[in-house]
Structure 1
């Protein structure tokens, strides 16, 4: 899996990230995060701290972000934890990237609902644009990963790109999303067909007035709005 293939510890990474510190804004966020937990329970902040650190690395590197070993050691010091305990968290959750990824981390769901609904077509659109599973494109723009269920089965097939979901995809619409990102545009997130979230495609087929406002149908007998 791209971003999860092993922890890098070499002199170049050390030289680049050994001096990692929170930005002033993130230092304020870190203070707010750790304050959510009781005294002596600051280890509970390891997940949000790692997420915050990964986002800061991404902002500095103009990528989706990853966690160099010195950055994880910084998080351990901030929380008074042994570094191994931070590594245990970072290596368990695939939301944390342990190696560099591109500006856009394209995570294609290949679990059964998405596979049956056309995830192979989604992957084909990626491959036609030079994306390969487990690799980052030469221009550093895209990293492609095939993942397990991302929780939008009703809108299969779908992908997650950084923090956004793109759903109800076809080869054509997936290609359009990638092309728009490559042009520096912000394609529409969510379903790529005419529906809101996981509502029926084309709109409701029953209780249609509920799409206008919250009608109370109780006691109407014939189903008409009251």
Structure 2
């Protein structure tokens, strides 16, 4: 497990606090910890998609729990990033179906093309490449996820096109589309 000690500005804006309060309203007042996963998602999204130790401490303070309770969750789930990542994180599924259909080779191809190793971010800060467990799209293997967007039936040509589209600013991770 690699933990970054990079500085991260903690900015709980009024809008973010309102969203956290809304999430907390779904749970009994004495069970704030129950909101930990969705609160971590919201806080991570609002902080360049990663959670520093300081930010995890802030979440613990907001939820009135011990910091270790946050660290345990953040270090267990791969959906929480403990270090700065690229604007586009390519998460290659590498479980059975995708592995049998060449996902490992495509991930290696992507890493070589971008000049990084698995888990690293390109010097321009655009791309991070990681392997993850099942993404639940076995019928479309091999596949990857970038943001909330799935790219299925991958080939090297599709990976090349996705990288080019990302570099050209055509990938909108909020609309889950690639614009023309």
Q: TM-score, normalising length from structure 1? A: 0.72
- How far off its partner does 1:21 sit? 3.5
* Residue from 147, 150, 154 that aligns with 1:162: 147
The answer for unaligned runs of 5 or more in structure 1 is 59-64, 191-226
CA distance in 2, matches of 1:89, 1:102: 22
CA distance in 1, matches of 2:146, 2:140: 16
CA distance in 2, matches of 1:126, 1:8: 21
- How far off its partner does 1:189 sit? 5.8
Does the 8 Å contact 2:91/2:130 carry over to 1?
Answer: yes
Residue correspondence of structure 1 range 186-205 to structure 2 within 5 A: 186=171
Deviation readout 1:28-60 (Å, 9 max, x if unpaired)? 1111000000120111111111111111111xx
Count of aligned residue pairs for this structure pair: 174
State which structure, 1 or 2, has the greater radius of gyration over its C-alpha atoms. Answer: 1
**Range 103-112 or range 129-138, more displaced:** 129-138
* Residue from 143, 168, 175 that aligns with 1:183: 168
Deviation readout 1:146-192 (Å, 9 max, x if unpaired)? 122111100000001122111111111111111101111127969xx
CA distance in 1, matches of 2:136, 2:68: 30
* Residue from 3, 6, 27 that aligns with 2:2: 6
Q: Which residue of 2 aligns with 1:88?
A: 72
CA distance in 2, matches of 1:189, 1:33: 24
Does the 8 Å contact 2:120/2:128 carry over to 1?
Answer: yes
What value does the CA root-mean-square deviation take over the aligned residues?
1.9
